[in-house]
Chains A and B, each alone.
Chain A
Amino acid sequence: MHSFDVLVIGGGHAGVEAACAAARMGARTALVSFDLNAIGAMSCNPAIGGLGKGHLVREVDALDGVLGRAADAGAIHYRMLNRSKGSAVWGPRVQADRVRFKAAVQQAVRMQKGLTLVQGEAAALVLRGGAVAGLQLADGTIFEALRVVLCTGTFLGGILYRGEERFEGGRIGENAAHRLAQQLRGADLPMARLKTGTPPRLDGRTIDWAVLEEQPSDGEAWTMSPLTERRINPQVFCGITRTMQAGHDAIRANLHRSPLFSGAIAAAGPRYCPSIEDKIHRFGDREGHQVFLEPEGLDTHLVYPNGISTSLPVDVQEEVVRTMPGCGRTVIVQPGYAVEYDHIDPRALTPDLQVRAIPGLYCAGQINGTTGYEEAAAQGLVAGLEAAAAALGRQAPRLDRANSYIAVMVDDLTLQGVSEPYRMLTARAEYRLRLRANNAATRLTGLGIEAGCIGAARRAWWERREDVRTMFHVKHSEKVHARELADRGLPVRRDHGEKSLAEWLRYDRVTPAALAPWLGDLTELDPVLAEEMAEDAAYAPYLARQDAELRDLRASEALPLAADFPYGEVPGLSSEMVERLTKAAPGTLAAAGRVPGVTPAALSALLVHARRRVAA
């Protein structure tokens, strides 16, 4: 019989990061998947990153994850979203060639030391005394494992809808893991249903690109991972088209045939990327909706029309597509569809993504009610690190809302639950100014090294970078008089006295490039770091003001609330408050304050009683 420290079920983005992270920590790890050749498949949009999501990619990468480098390996189009705004909300996004991306992921998992790949259908958890002890496969094989991480995506009770048709399964052509699902249902975990959708795939050879507006790759040099030295693949452009009134009319005439409107799908879908029928229904007055035509790869003619996710019948999908400019003769290769699936109410999880009711079992990804590769990968990383740390008796990196989007997401999920598929947004991070996509390495790689999840190559890179960072700090504290700056043509008033270079960087139009005469060749040594340091200097007054707030936060994070804290015994708490708090089971007083609907009065009552319990 085989035995592992950590066993990961599922080979999607969450499963890959969980398995590799656990193995990087040094845990003996196995990854079980229906089909090992499907590992690394992108089931939906062939794009990685974006607003908020780009931050997650960089953070996963900073903890030496797979996603960032695989994205670079597949990237055929780079775009920095929100470039015109402050750098804290820039969203690096790439479109990836499916084949190249998948090959990179496959290579990463196969090369990962300490990771065993197992092809098979996970049938049932082996439980011992209520805790996880292993996994049984459909063929009867049993693996022992100290920790099991479930990353089964939409495979839990997934039903696929396309017009009046319906199929069981997650992606087209795969079986849903029904036996495992039954077992989880038997454990009486709180479950809910969500839906997600995908657009039809088009044959690019039948699109008239010449009449469409082009959106080129952004022509800069940045990459998703700093370990990727340069962009690898030829870059392609996207086309921009839009839906037209004739298409809208077709949708309206057939709304009753869409499972979303016929009542077949009752679950909540994302507000953020609604289906085209939803858009027409909700914003009926709009003349058209923008659609990006994104090539799926260098060696395929498939095109992903971003913006028309739909579950309408095939004939209506065709009509909508054919009325879009440039698509008059376009052929649909694979029609769009909607998936309705079960997810676990993530409030049933502790902050390490462990199922409270089944110790040793972790859940990550879509199964927790999120949407998106990046969200899935980030959770997989957390679950893998935590499971390995627990199995090995070590500490996972300490992530919190002030140091990572990853922690923001996990905290949101486990405290607030989800009412629609959870997507990362920069608005969710209150300390956004310090959580920039471009400073992820500064924020997290050091923590990763301490925890022992960073490989040799990244460690060497990071240590070199820290040396340069120190040099920048020294340089930035050097004082320069306004006269010197003005003499070199910088737009500062000569009577502004002597200031450190860091202070000068707060001035509008004083850029790191303009300070080159004083920074010397440091900027050339690492231009990306130079930019990051300049932003730190510019945001410094705002960050300083947040420090007091963070001290308060950490003080109330220090007041623990036990998992079995008897909220019902806190006198005066309404039954509604007791229910909300019991369900969310916040680990600390600060977390209790973030549980939605908890009133200031209830919070103070809780504070008083928590203090009493600590004192007792």
Chain B
Amino acid sequence: MIDRPTIFALSSGAPPAGVGVIRVSGPAAQAALEALAGRVPEPRRASLARLRDAEGSLLDEALVLWFPGPATATGEDLAEFHCHGGRAVIVAVERALVSLPGVRRAEPGEFTRRAFANGRIDLAEAEGLADLLSAETELQRAAALANAGGVLSRQVDLWRDRVLGLSAEVEGVLDFSDEEDSAELPESFTWNIAALAEELTGWLGRPRSERLGEGFRVVLAGPPNAGKSTLFNALVESEAAITSPIAGTTRDVIERSVAIAGVPFTFVDTAGLREVEGADPIEAIGIDRARDALARADAVLWLGAEGEGPQGAWEVAAQSDRTDFAPKSRANFTLSATTGDGVSALKDALVEAARGALPKPGEAALNARQHARLSDAAEALVSAQCLSDPLLVAEELRRARVAFDQLIGRATTEDMLDTLFGRFCIGK
């Protein structure tokens, strides 16, 4: 076997924190324990140890754990140092580790990659873990965790078993019709296919996992000086900024991604667009962009005159602190971004709306690849219902099984190779 470097990383939150957990995975994990703690503790038992560097200086007093491979999270030998969470302590322990032969700092996602390469997790779980690593909000984390924990894989296995059962019924008719037992398909057969197809369609209608990355898109719209930018700033300023995968689509539209109560949002300020309305063709492009922004919005906050906003927009009566304030008769929200009055009520409503539109915490969400495979399966089941030749029914059921296999990586297909060698850079 090719000897691979041993990797380590701080797997708890950024210091300073109460505890700093440093994980070490690879063939030199045991040597790392011996070097720092002076001994290898009993497997899977926490024990207290004094950590020292090569010169013998005391670094920390820490809990150490030893997990011999292959039955570990990464499939390799694994060591954990639960140190005190101060920045200096962590840096010192990391420096001691990096000085050991064959040990280096892990690249992002490398632990996952090893778990996948070592057969500890399947494709869907690995994708979940990859999402988990890039998760910046609580909601993203919960959804990724569901996939990483195998929720989707288990569900697919159940579907696959049901299709296998249906296939067995058709095959009975095809291969044993010369025997008496199974000449005809039972009446329940088509009904069972329909029920399964409907279940898949339900899953396909669920919010996709990419939605978590994009966040809930909220567009602020209205005429100039309606208070859009002030409200925009009030909504995003105090919140944690997150990296949006589609930030800065145009110069004319200002986007900012933040997490509110653990839910990812992208706020879009269309400031500057309304001023050019009815202007020359070049400027009209800006209007198209505004329309485009509106079309892709999950919610539009309309700050203009009542009833003049896009259909379904939330009527916001802004600038309630001003003397020339024009209240709306059917305002969803009345607020002042300057004083902060009513802003938190708006945020609460946005969070609630977003929770409904984004994947639910703990519920497995499908990414584009998984969605495509599941669509294949659903499509095959739908056409199986309309076929009378059991031979073709069997072929459609087989197609559905192939799609399920591809979904969780049971089939060794290009689909899987792409995911494998693209996303995980395996083979380096």
Contact = CB atoms under 8 A, between A and B. Distances in A.
Interface of A: 50-52, 81-82, 85-86, 88-89, 91, 272, 283, 289-290, 425-427, 430, 432-433, 542, 545, 549, 551-552, 555-556, 566, 569-574, 577, 589-590, 592-593, 599-609, 611-612, 615-616
Contacts of B167: 427
A456 B395 CA distance: 38
B387 to A, nearest CB: 10
| Nearest 8 pairs of A and B residues by beta carbon | A572-B75, A572-B118, A605-B119, A86-B391, A427-B171, A572-B119, A552-B413, A556-B412
A608 B389 contact: no
Contacts of B260: none
Contacts of B356: none
Contact of A593 (B171, B410, B426): B410
Contacts of A91: 178
B391 A600 contact: no
Which of A566, A570, A604 gathers most chain B CB within 10 Å? Answer: A604
Given A81-B178, A556-B413, A603-B409, 10 more contacts: A51-B176, A85-B174, A572-B70, A572-B76, A590-B412, A600-B122, A604-B117, A604-B420, A605-B116, A616-B2
Contacts of A602: 119
A604 B389 contact: no
Contacts of A570: 118-119
B402 interface: yes
Given A542-B392, A616-B2, A51 B175 contact: yes
Interface string B397-428: 01100100100111111111100100000110
Which of A432, A590, A600 gathers most chain B CB within 10 Å? Answer: A600
Contacts of A272: 176
Interface in B148-172: 153, 167, 171
B282 interface: no
A542 B176 CA distance: 24
Nearest to B388: A508
Contacts of A577: 119
Interface of B: 1-2, 69-70, 75-76, 115-123, 125-126, 153, 167, 171, 174-181, 389-392, 394-395, 398-399, 402, 405, 408-417, 420, 426-427
A314 B300 CA distance: 88
B350 to A, nearest CB: 39
A549 B405 CA distance: 12
Contacts of A608: 116-117, 420, 426-427
B123 A604 contact: yes
Contacts of A592: 412
Contacts of A589: 412
The secondary-structure label for the interface of chain A is helix
Contacts of A82: 174, 177-178
A542 B395 contact: yes
Given A85-B389, A593-B410, A600 B123 contact: yes
B413 A52 contact: no
Given A85-B389, A86-B389, A542-B392, A612 B174 contact: no
A51 B394 CA distance: 16
A51 B427 CA distance: 46
B119 A85 contact: no
A283 B116 CA distance: 47
Contacts of A612: 2, 427
Contacts of B394: 427, 432
B178 A604 contact: no
B121 A552 contact: no
A92 to B, nearest CB: 13
A573 B69 CA distance: 11
Contacts of A600: 122-123, 153, 405, 408-410
B174 A427 contact: yes
A604 B409 contact: yes
Nearest to A569: B1
A615 B384 CA distance: 43
A427 B177 contact: no
B411 A593 contact: yes
Contacts of B414: 551-552, 555
B122 A604 contact: yes
A593 B17 CA distance: 46
Contacts of B408: 600
A169 to B, nearest CB: 30
B76 A85 contact: no
Given A289-B180, A290-B180, A601 B121 contact: yes
A556 B417 CA distance: 10
A290 B390 CA distance: 24
Contacts of A283: 181
A552 B410 CA distance: 13
B206 to A, nearest CB: 23
A273 B119 CA distance: 40
Which of B76, B120, B391, B399 gathers most chain A CB within 10 Å? Answer: B391
Given A571-B76, A572-B70, A599-B122, A85 B395 contact: no
B410 A605 contact: no
Given A86-B392, A571-B76, A599-B122, A607 B69 contact: no
A526 B243 CA distance: 68
B117 A605 contact: yes
A601 B119 contact: yes
Given A603-B412, A604-B420, A88 B391 contact: yes
A593 B178 CA distance: 32
Contact of B412 (A427, A433, A593): A593
A604 B391 contact: no
Nearest to A573: B119
A607 B116 CA distance: 11
A52 B119 contact: no
A596 to B, nearest CB: 12
A601 B117 CA distance: 8
Contacts of B410: 593, 599-600, 603
A604 B175 CA distance: 34
Contact of A89 (B175, B399, B412, B427): B175
Contacts of A430: 398
A470 to B, nearest CB: 28
Contacts of B176: 51, 272
Contacts of B118: 570-572, 605
Contacts of B178: 50-51, 81-82, 91
B388 to A, nearest CB: 10
Contacts of B120: 572, 601
A600 B399 CA distance: 18
B171 A425 contact: yes
B174 A426 contact: yes
29 contacts: A50-B178, A51-B174, A51-B178, A85-B177, A85-B389, A86-B390, A86-B392, A88-B391, A427-B171, A427-B394, A433-B391, A551-B414, A552-B413, A552-B414, A555-B417, A571-B1, A571-B118, A571-B119, A574-B119, A601-B121, A603-B410, A605-B75, A605-B117, A607-B416, A608-B116, A611-B426, A612-B2, A612-B427, A616-B2
A593 B75 CA distance: 21
A542 to B, nearest CB: 6
A615 B123 CA distance: 22
A572 B4 CA distance: 14
Nearest to A91: B178
A612 B113 CA distance: 14
Nearest to B407: A600
A427 to B, nearest CB: 4
Given A85-B389, A542-B392, A52 B122 contact: no
Contacts of B1: 566, 569, 571
A433 B395 contact: yes
Contacts of A86: 389-392
A408 B333 CA distance: 68
Nearest to B424: A608
A609 B417 CA distance: 13
A50 B174 CA distance: 12
Contacts of A289: 180
B171 A606 contact: no
